[in-house]
Amino acid sequence: MTRARSRLWPALVFAISGGLVFAQDLPGRSETLPPGKNPHLGNKESIRAGMALYRIRCADCHGLDAAGYRGPDLVTAIAGGLTDERLFQTIRKGVPGTEMPAATTSPDDDLLLLIAYLRSVGTVAAPESPGGDVENGGRLFASQCASCHRVAGRGGRIGPDLTRIGIARSRSALVREIRTPSEWIGPSYETVTLVTKDGQRIRGAKKNEDVFSIQVMDSRERIQGYLKSSLQDVVYEKASLMPDFGPGRLNDKDLNDLVGYLSTLRGSDMTVR
Amino acid sequence: MRAFLTIVIGTLTVVALGAQQAAAPQVTSQDLLGGLKDPSRWLTYGGDYNGHRHSPLTQITPDNVNQLVSQWTFQTGTLGSFQSTPLVVDGVLYVTGYNNNAWAIDARSGRSIWRYRRNLPEDLRNCCGPVNRGFAALGDRLFMATIDAHLLALDMKTGGVLYDVELADYKLGYSATVAPLVVKDKVIVGIAGAEFGTRGFIDAYDVQTGKRAWRFYTVAGPDDPGGKTWPPGDAYQRGGGSIWVTGTYDPQQNLIFFGTGNPGPDYYSQAREGDNLYTASLVAIDADTGQRRWHYQFTPHDVHDWDSTQVPVLGEIPINGQPRKVVMFANRNGFFYTIDRTTGKPIVAKPFVETTWAKEIGPDGRPVMLPGHLPDEDGSKTCPDLGGGTNFMSPSYDPTSRLFFVTARETCAVYYAWEQKFKPGEQWESGGTIRPKDQKNFGALRAIDPATGQMKWEFRYTSVSSSGVLTTASGLVFAGDGEGNIMAFESRTGKNLWHYQLGFPVRSTAGTTYMVDGRQYLLVPAGSVLTAFALPQR
């Protein structure tokens, strides 16, 4: 391969070298979906080529079956109505504030091949129906979750914003992440306790870190950076700040209702009119 | 009249002297052989033909390095990040950048003198971004490989193109990112693009005319020695073996050393049964003829994308009381090797990161394989990941302390493989990888004793790093982490002495150091910015 070539390097290539490159600076790299029909849609060979590209560039986060791994469930998202334009722009520009990098240097054709493959996958599964008592789920969310999670601009900020979680996660992923949140903790939400030189303990979510400094949001939602040389200790915890919502804490029916409610969260228009 | 004649003669004399000065070559073959003998300059990718990246400069020391302050920054104004090692010739920096931009820059002030920008074709494809690792220099010429697989000679004074040679057809996936290596009257360059099913090679071109002198294929053909390590047919035509990191040169043996890339396709074993020579190998080639003298294959039949395109570092070290001429090689496959550079036989081979695929390197030089590491459609977990134990980032060797310094990566991946139909010009890897969900990768700067392969010390980073390493005779090691810090360490102990947050990780190099007007500078490329550090002026 080459250089650090990149496969793993999708992450690296796009994030590192691509991080400073913009599509409009390279020929054949459009920022929006090129006009006309995607010539690869439904074409068997193209779909296979798109699958190879997908596996190399996307599967690390979205899973080999595109059903979500570290990153969102694309099968559900596509079956739920994600447009080609939105797909193209998401791949091209990435998603700010997430691990999704911008594919700034890839030719348009690569993106069209990926879309053709994802379309072929996305038509396999029908969108999951919300299920459960959504109203009860909403009440549960307000009482159990909203102090840490935000939806449409309301709620806590120490946990991930869930405004679009219905698009980003499958039902099974939501169940897993509610029941056993420590199984996988996303970047920017790992639990850390900082011990200051005078013995004060600051527990929170790690936002960033290098050898010499660490940045956290503490339980009072205060964001702050610390020089490690000014700390007595940094304790990395394996458990999520989010407690396990096991059956004793959230019975199966309530879980079903809560997941039903979360599945309805598909974004919010925040425009001031 | 007499006064007029005097002025005319005087003017002509000045012009003639000026012309004479301009004609003097700035970089001679002798200069290149001297390496960093004149440490105010930095004339080759690795600083010298040995690839040591070890400067004799001693103004910046372990005692004062924490006083380093930035003197100037140069912003390219372009997009994409540096992977280039800047050359320094008499107070002027020559540096290549993303998308085959290049600059000459005043080393004192950071002000641009000229800029070159290549018009790249619209249908260009490459696996890993249009990066470039730097210039080579000879006479008044600079040599640059381009991402569309050409070799350029540029006028050092103006950046104007003196010649432009096509190495291979970029439409088939060939590309070039390596900093060329000038040896005598030849400029030596390698080709990349193995993930597109290409056949790798190393070429030598006449520095004056650009005419090709020889070609060495890194994938043996059917009638070549080693040809039977490929399946019958034309698999060798797609056999990979990229070259994208600069080699080294031993003038006494007149041998050049290059590490070669992995075989193609990357992961799908059944497409290319056999050892797949000379991929994932170290090759020793006669500098005049391009004939292979010997080879050592690190990873026979590699299926994990572990190119051996790391820098082969040359040294002379005592082993068991005997002085040995060796090549030191920290390989992407996770093993560190010390190899006899006259025979190609390994003397030392030890893991320098966690390796799960081989128990050890056997007495015959071949890895003793462990079961369960052949990628397939179900996936198999192996350490290190495809980025390897180290990669394109340059190591450094301090011949005084006899320590080898390398940026190590502690990683694992689940490797998958599947059959993929080959189509010329399309990416053809037949597999991919996924990071295990619970995998916590990290990087470290490690000091290795090449006589034993033992690690002497390490400094751990928060995440993996792609920074190279630079050492100085004052006992300093410079390296960067994955978070954008450039750091200085005491070479004997690994104690961190200084750091500066650059805002973007250093990649490939840790920069160069040079001297201008009596001041030692540390020059670090990171992102699209060059930052020059020096001690405060008293």
Burial string for B386-398 (b: 16+ CB within 10 Å, else e) reads bbbbbbbbbbbbb
CB contact under 8 A, B305 and A211: no
CB contact under 8 A, A60 and B499: no
- Asked if the model's pLDDT at residue B127 lies above 60, the reply is yes
pLDDT at B19: 47
Q: Is the peptide bond before B205 cis (omega within 30 degrees of 0)?
A: no
φ/ψ of B499, rounded to 5, equals -150, 155
- Return residues 125-184 of B near A (CB < 8 Å): 125-131, 175, 177
- Asked if the model's pLDDT at residue A26 lies above 70, the reply is no
pLDDT at A128: 52
A260-270 residue pLDDT tens: 999 899 887 77
CA distance B489 to A19: 29
For residue A6, the chain B residues in CB contact (below 8 A) are: 127-129
Q: How far apart, in Å, are the Cα atoms of A21 and each of A31, A34, A103, A130?
A: 12, 19, 9, 40
The answer, for A215 touching chain B at a CB cutoff of 8 Å, is: no
- Asked if the model's pLDDT at residue B108 lies above 90, the reply is yes
pLDDT at B16: 47
CB contact under 8 A, B192 and A107: no
The more confidently predicted of residues B320 and A170 is B320
Burial string for A94-123 (b: 16+ CB within 10 Å, else e) reads beeeeebbbbbbbbbbbbbbbbbbbbbbbe
How many contacts (CB atoms, under 8 Å) link A and B? 150
> Stretch B366-392: mean pLDDT, rounded?
95
- Asked if the model's pLDDT at residue B99 lies above 60, the reply is yes
- Asked if the model's pLDDT at residue A18 lies above 50, the reply is no
Is there a catalytic annotation at residue B307? no
pLDDT at B236: 97
Structure confidence at residue B439 as a pLDDT band (50, 70, 90): confident
pLDDT at A129: 58
> pTM for the whole thing?
0.87
> Stretch B209-224: mean pLDDT, rounded?
98
Pairing of strands B496-501, B485-490: antiparallel
CB contact under 8 A, A13 and B128: yes
CA distance B511 to B39: 14
For residue B505, the chain A residues in CB contact (below 8 A) are: 16
A88-145 residue pLDDT tens: 999 999 987 667 889 987 889 889 999 999 999 865 445 455 589 999 999 999 999 9
Mean pLDDT, chain B, integer:
94
For residue A188, the chain B residues in CB contact (below 8 A) are: none
pLDDT at B142: 98
> Stretch A200-216: mean pLDDT, rounded?
96
CB contact under 8 A, A8 and B433: yes
CA distance B178 to B45: 10
Token pair for B401: 């302390």
Look at A170-184, B4-18, B404-418, B465-479 and tell me which has the smallest mean pLDDT: B4-18
Measured over the CA atoms of residue B302, residue B304, residue B305 and residue B308, the dihedral's sign is negative
pLDDT at A122: 65
The more confidently predicted of residues A19 and B379 is B379
Report the percent of chain B where pLDDT is more than 70.
96
pLDDT at B49: 98
B145-185 residue pLDDT tens: 999 999 999 999 999 999 999 999 999 999 999 999 999 99
Q: Is A189 helix (H, G, I), strand (E, B) or coil?
A: coil
Q: Residues A174, A262: contact at Cβ < 8 Å?
A: yes
The more confidently predicted of residues A187 and B422 is B422
CA distance B218 to B178: 15
Structure confidence at residue A13 as a pLDDT band (50, 70, 90): very low
Look at A31-35, B13-17, B356-360 and tell me which has the smallest mean pLDDT: B13-17
- Asked if the model's pLDDT at residue A5 lies above 50, the reply is no
Token pair for B362: 């056997």
